[in-house]
A and B are shown apart, each in its own frame.
Chain A
Amino acid sequence: MTNQEIVERIDRSIAEEFEIDPEDMKPEKTLFQELGLDSLDIVDLVIVLETAFRFKIREEEGIRKIRTLGDIHAFVIQKKIELESIPR
Chain B
Amino acid sequence: MRVTLRIWRQKNASDSGHFVTYEKDNVSPDMSFLEMLDALNRELIGKGEEPVAFESDCREGICGTCSLVIDGVPHGRGRGAATCQLYMRKFKDGDTVVVEPFRARAFPIIRDLVVDRSAFDRIIQAGGFISVNTGGTPDGNALPISKSVQELAMDAAACIGCGACVAACKNASAMLFVAAKVAHLGLLPQGEPERTERVRKMVAQMDKEGFGACTNTFECEAACPKEISVGFIARLNREFIRATATGD
A and B from one complex: no
Seen from chain B, the residues whose Cβ lies within 8 Å of a Cβ on chain A are none
Interface residues of A (CB under 8 A from B): none
